[in-house]
C-alpha cells in the first residue's frame, strides 16, 4: 500500500469515527422531547402563579432531580463517586467530552501506528493504550488544578459571607443556599447543591461528607468540620470562620509566591518538551532520508522509543519538582 493510500485511509477512518462520536455527543447533550414538553408547560403555568411560588417550585424540582442523580451515583459505587467528582470539576459536559475523546484518540493512535509509524507489535499495543490513558489523566489533572485554584480564590469571600449571615442570626442552611445564589462557578453550584440537599431534609453531616468527596479541597474540609462542631457543641461560629478565612488568604499568598519562584522551571520544562519536536519536524522536511532511519528500521524504532520514554520521565520529574504544594 502506498503512502498516499495510507493517508487517505487514515483520514477516512478519522472522519467516519469522529462524525459518529459528534453525533453521539449531540444526542447526549440535546434535551429530550419529554424535557421540552415539561419546560413548555412550566412556562405556560408561570403566568398564573406568583414569582416567589414559581421560584420555590423550580428549586424544589432541581433538588428532587439532584436527589435522584445522587441515588443513581450511590448505586454505581466507585464509578459513581468519580462521575460526581468529574461533574464538580467541569460540569456534565466534561464527563461526556473525556468519555468520547478517549476512544477517538485510541482509534487515531492505532491507525497512525499501523499506517504511518512501522513500530513493532510489542510497542504498538502499549503505545495505543498509554496515549489515551495519559491524555485522560492529564486532562483530569488540569481540571483538578483549575477547580482547586478557582475554589480557593472564592473561599475567603464565602467564609466572610457566612460569618456576616451568622452574626445577623441567619441559619447555616439558609446561609449556604444564599452562597449558591451569590457566587459563580466553582463554589456557587456546589453550595447550591448542598443547600438543595438540606432543603429536602437530609442530615448536615451526610450532605457535607458527599460534598467533601466531590470537592476534595482541604480548606473546604476545615469549613465542614467547623460547621459540624458548631452544631454539636455550640460556640461562636463567626470567630472560627474569620480565623479560617485569614489562614486561607495567607495560604493563597504563599501559593502565588511559590508559583512565581518556580516560573523559570516550568517554562524550562515546556521549552525542553518543544525543542525535540521542532528539530524532528525541521529535519523531516530538510533531510527526510537522514531522519527516516528512525522510522524505517528496527534499531531506529528502538532508539526513538527509548528517547521518547526518557524524555517523558525527565519532563514528569521536572514538572513534579517545580510544583510546590502549599
Predicted confidence (pLDDT) per residue in 183-202, tens digit:
888 888 888 888 888 877 78
Specify the pTM. 0.67
pLDDT of the residue at 26 = 60
Q: State the DSSP code for 30.
A: S
In Å, what is the CA distance from 230 to each residue of 143, 172, 177, 207, 293?
33, 10, 18, 16, 70
Q: Calculate mean pLDDT across residues 140-145.
A: 85
Q: What are phi and psi of 287, to 5 degrees?
A: -145, 75
Q: Calculate mean pLDDT across residues 293-315.
A: 81
Tell me how far apart the alpha carbons of residues 141 and 308 are, in angstroms, rounded to a whole number.
22
Predicted confidence (pLDDT) per residue in 61-109, tens digit:
666 666 666 666 666 666 777 777 777 787 767 777 777 777 787 777 7
Going by C-beta distance under 8 Å and a sequence separation of 6 or more, which residues neighbour residue 241? Answer: 159, 160, 162, 163, 166, 223, 226
Tell me how far apart the alpha carbons of residues 203 and 207 are, in angstroms, rounded to a whole number.
6
Q: Calculate mean pLDDT across residues 137-147.
A: 85
Q: Three cell numbers at 155?
A: 473561599
DSSP 193-234: HHHHHHHTT--HHHHHHHHHHHH--HHHHHHHHHHHHHHHH-
Whether the pLDDT of residue 48 is over 50: the answer is no
Say if CB 135 and CB 98 are below 8 A apart: no
Q: Where are the domains of the chain?
A: 3-29+50-146, 159-260, 263-321
Write down the mean pLDDT value for the chain: 76
Amino acid at each position: 500500500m502506498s503512502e498516499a493510500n495510507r493517508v487517505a485511509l487514515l483520514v477516512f477512518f478519522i472522519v467516519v469515527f469522529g462524525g459518529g462520536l459528534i453525533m453521539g455527543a449531540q444526542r447526549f447533550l440535546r434535551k429530550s422531547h419529554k424535557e421540552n414538553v415539561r419546560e413548555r408547560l412550566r412556562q405556560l403555568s408561570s403566568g398564573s402563579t406568583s414569582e416567589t411560588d414559581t421560584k420555590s417550585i423550580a428549586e424544589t424540582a432541581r433538588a428532587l432531580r439532584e436527589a435522584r442523580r445522587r441515588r443513581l451515583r450511590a448505586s454505581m459505587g466507585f464509578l459513581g463517586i468519580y462521575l460526581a467528582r468529574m461533574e464538580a470539576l467541569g460540569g456534565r459536559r466534561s464527563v461526556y467530552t473525556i468519555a468520547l475523546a478517549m476512544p477517538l484518540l485510541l482509534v487515531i493512535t492505532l491507525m497512525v501506528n499501523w499506517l504511518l509509524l512501522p513500530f513493532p507489535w510489542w510497542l504498538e499495543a502499549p503505545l495505543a493504550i498509554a496515549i489515551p490513558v495519559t491524555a485522560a489523566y492529564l486532562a483530569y489533572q488540569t481540571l483538578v488544578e483549575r477547580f482547586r485554584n478557582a475554589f480557593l480564590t472564592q473561599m475567603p469571600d464565602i467564609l466572610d459571607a457566612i460569618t456576616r449571615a451568622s452574626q445577623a442570626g441567619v441559619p447555616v442552611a439558609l446561609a449556604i443556599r444564599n452562597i449558591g445564589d451569590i457566587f459563580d462557578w466553582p463554589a456557587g453550584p456546589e453550595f447550591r447543591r448542598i443547600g438543595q440537599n438540606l432543603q429536602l431534609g437530609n442530615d448536615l453531616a451526610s450532605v457535607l461528607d458527599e460534598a467533601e468527596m466531590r470537592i476534595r479541597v482541604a480548606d473546604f474540609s476545615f469549613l465542614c468540620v467547623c460547621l459540624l462542631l458548631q452544631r454539636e457543641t455550640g460556640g461562636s461560629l463567626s470567630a472560627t470562620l474569620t480565623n479560617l478565612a485569614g489562614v486561607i488568604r495567607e495560604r493563597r499568598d504563599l501559593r502565588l509566591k511559590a508559583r512565581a519562584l518556580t516560573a523559570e522551571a516550568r517554562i524550562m520544562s515546556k521549552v525542553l518538551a518543544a525543542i525535540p519536536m521542532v528539530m524532528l519536524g525541521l529535519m523531516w522536511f530538510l533531510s527526510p532520508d537522514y531522519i527516516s532511519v528512525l522510522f524505517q528500521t528496527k534499531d531506529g524504532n528502538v532508539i526513538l522509543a527509548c528517547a521518547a520514554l526518557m524524555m517523558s520521565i525527565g519532563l514528569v520529574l521536572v514538572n513534579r519538582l517545580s510544583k510546590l504544594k502549599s
